[in-house]
Structure 1
Amino acid sequence: MREVPENIRELMSRLNDGDIPNDVAGSMRGAAEAFRDAGIHSYEKALNTEKGQYLVPFIVCLSFSAELLLKLLVFKKTGEIKKTHKLSELFLSLDSDTKDDIINKLNERFLKNKKSTIIDESSEVNFHIDLEGLIKKISLHDETFIDWRYFYESSGVLYVEFHFIFDLIEVLGPLSLC
């Protein structure tokens, strides 16, 4: 195992000593971005290897990024940090305006990209999602972070629509800046 670099040890020490202000929102956003970047890096590595070792980190990182961004939006609106991994519970904790913003931005993204990750392949192509449809789609991913993090304990098929999770992250990121 590699030794922890001096600059990292110093930062951890300063944080533990209270020398670095605890900016909860900034920390959550920074972590969400880092997990998104790690997920994308794992995806790119997965494309260039025949082994599947990068698939799980890719899915875990992206799903955790989505969770953190939803938690951040809830925190910014309520001051509360929800202790759940369920994306639907986090989404339903948001006010109506924020939910509408997410829906509108997802619909704009689908129209721009001429694809939808909201519908399944057997459905007629349309690039619109409503509140009920989004809650249903998000609910399908309530356990993605936990299930894929502990993939080796699973006795069944693990579910994820990574394009949907990625689109959700791409919408939530800019909204979390507001």
Structure 2
Amino acid sequence: MDPVADHLSNNIRQLRETRGLTQQQMAKISGVPRPTWANLESGAANPTLAVLIKVATALQVSLEELISPPRTSSKFYPAASLPVRQRGKVTVRRLLPEAIAGLEVERVVLPPGASMTGIPHTPGTREYLTCERGEVELSESGRLWRLEAGDVVVFRGDQSHGYRNPGREQAIAYSVIALAPVSG
């Protein structure tokens, strides 16, 4: 199939489905016969410019949007494509492949006995640490928290803090860091 015709059929179907409308409803709104609409979505049609204008108007998009490559609503990221860093024996992997302003989400793997010193963030930052497996000790602001699977500690991420695995098995924790905006 011609790529432009393929884009056209995929875009028309996706735009109609996104609006929660049937082919019959779109045919009525656009003034394009229902069999023609079905052919447009299947890629079997070779529409005239007049038909494309009616379709674009009914879907409230430009002609360019009808024939351009479809916008994807999802994207797969293999684990190996996500940024990983080693901090001593501790492995820290980002869980979000795309940046979300002011938010970091990381998976922290601590072998038995391993520890890592956290880096204080901008003033006003909140950090959420949850233990998925094993045991994790969190030290922050002179306090010591011992987390087991399912436990969560919320603390000020702008203070000195550190993580340690006191157990005999590997520990896995998730850190969600809500960064405070940098003033200036």
Do both proteins adopt the same fold according to a TM-score greater than 0.5, normalized to the shorter chain? no
Higher relative contact order (CA 8 A, sep 6+): 1
Q: Which has the higher helix share?
A: 1
TM-score between both structures, scaled by the size of structure 1: 0.23
TM-score between both structures, scaled by the size of structure 2: 0.22
- Specify the structure having the higher radius of gyration (Cα): 2
Q: Which has the higher strand share?
A: 2
